[in-house]
A = this chain, B = another copy of it.
Amino acid sequence: MSLPRINLNPPFNITRCSHVCLEVRDIAASRLFYEQVIGLVVTAEEDGVLYLRGIEEACHHSLVLREVKGETKCSRIGMRVLTEEDLDKAYAYFSDKGCTAEWANVAYQGRTLDVTDVNGIPLQFCARMPIEPRQITSFHNHRGGAALRIDHYQILVPDLPKALNSYMELGFWLTEYVGIDDESVRAVFLQRKGNPHDIVLFNGDGPRIHHFAYMTTETQNLLRACDVAGELGFGRQVERGPGRHGPGHALFVYFRDPDGHRVELFNTHYQVMDLENEPIRWDPHDPAVAFPWGLPARKRWFEEATEFRDVEVRETPIRPTPMTLERYLQD
């Protein structure tokens, strides 16, 4: 495939990655984890649903946790559009594509559109949420990683070229990608909000959500999140890091929450809003891509991910063999 160009006239205006809806088995355990380790703020808890946001977020929620019995999956990932009119355009766009597109009644959101996109990913769009006071200067209440805001999610898809094209059509910018050449792309970083990513797509059995990411700014906060995790009994759930990413250049740490959902805490990165910025290619054979220093990720970091509720997982025909920690230690 050749890399698609930025679509400067998308069918409607997506502004940013907005929220993630997860199922959990024990809402109290999840609350402890997200409040104390990641440092999110609880906006509301009612009817077995917990709404959280980062300490700078004025929107009502960027993480929604719903208590269920049995297996816990991801119900939807949310995106913001700029105006109510954009919602109507989105409805028309996806309906025309033959995708499921339905108006939904969702608490603490404006008019909401649920869509299953051509990749089978369950999306949710809205243009408004109730406003909450930002907690940036509520310093004495900051906890753990003091996560500022949701930044992006990473999705595994079995047909990456198709998924890439579908998001480029929506006006996403391709900022970075992993591939030996343009024909064998394994991962793409796509953005609308002016930094490296709102949605990251990796080749893999899917669609499944690999992780979602909150941003913090100080190195010390990343380590404090780990330390609080260790102190509160979540020490084994520090799955990978702290380390430095190749693509995106951020310091990161990956946690598994009490249900095994993966959440990343990472620090700042760059701005990308100029059309002359060509996508940056990363060679998957270069170890500095995956681990500029230290050790590579465990096998399960590559393989395990959260399924979407009521979405069938299809196998990918492409099976790369990444350098896992297990393989690395045998060399």
Contacts and interface: CB of A to CB of B under 8 A. Distances in A.
Interface string A55-76: 0111100000000000000000
Interface of A: 8, 15-16, 36, 56-59, 80, 82-83, 127-131, 134, 136-140, 143-144, 148-149, 193-194, 217-220, 223-224, 226-232, 234-236, 238, 241-242, 244, 249, 251, 267-278, 287-288, 291-295, 298, 325-326, 329
Contacts of A241: 294
Given A134-B270, A220-B220, A268-B148, A231 B59 contact: no
A16 B230 contact: no
Contacts of A8: 82-83
Contacts of A234: 293
Contacts of A277: 58, 131
Contact of A294 (B83, B224, B238, B291): B238
21 contacts: A59-B274, A128-B274, A129-B276, A131-B278, A134-B249, A137-B231, A137-B292, A139-B230, A139-B231, A140-B228, A140-B231, A140-B232, A148-B270, A149-B271, A223-B251, A226-B293, A231-B292, A236-B287, A238-B294, A242-B242, A325-B325
A217 B220 contact: no
B274 A227 contact: no
Contact of A218 (B15, B144, B218, B226): B218
B293 A229 contact: yes
Nearest to A271: B149
A51 B294 CA distance: 28
Nearest to A242: B242
A275 B127 contact: yes
B329 A275 contact: no
Given A228-B140, A231-B137, A83 B275 contact: yes
Contacts of A295: 295
A114 B232 CA distance: 43
A128 B275 contact: yes
A293 B325 contact: no
A129 B275 CA distance: 10
Contacts of A136: 249, 269-270
A290 to B, nearest CB: 11
A232 B139 CA distance: 9
B270 A131 contact: no
A271 B143 contact: no
